[in-house]
Amino acid sequence: MKGLYAIVDTKLLARRGTDPLEYARALLVARPAALQLRAKDLPARAILFLLRALGPMCRQAGVPLVANDRADLAALAGCESVHIGQDDVPYELVRRIAPQLSVGISTHTPDQLERALKERPRYVAYGPVFETSTKSNPDPVVGVDGLERAALRARAEGTPLVAIGGITLARIPEIAAHADAVAVIADLYPEGATLHDVSERARAFQMALGVVPRRGAA
pLDDT in tens, 160-202: 999 999 999 999 999 999 999 999 999 999 999 999 999 999 9
pLDDT band (50, 70, 90) for residue 97? confident
Give the mean model confidence (pLDDT) for residues 20-31: 98
User: Which of 179, 169, 187, 120 has its CA nearest to residue 149?
Assistant: 179
pLDDT band (50, 70, 90) for residue 71? very high
Produce one character per residue of 56-88: b if its CB has 16 or more CB atoms within 10 Å, e if not.
ebbeebebbbbbbbbbbbbbbbebbbbbbeeeb
Residue 54 pLDDT > 50, yes or no? yes
Contact 48, 70 (CB under 8 A): no
- 143 φ/ψ angles, rounded to the nearest 5 degrees: 75, 170
Residue 88 has a pLDDT of 83
pLDDT per residue over 36-52, tens digit each?
A: 999 999 999 999 999 99
* pTM metric for this prediction: 0.93
User: DSSP E strands: which ranges in 73-174?
Assistant: 81-84, 102-107, 123-126, 161-163
CATH topology of domain 3-103+162-208: TIM Barrel (3.20.20)
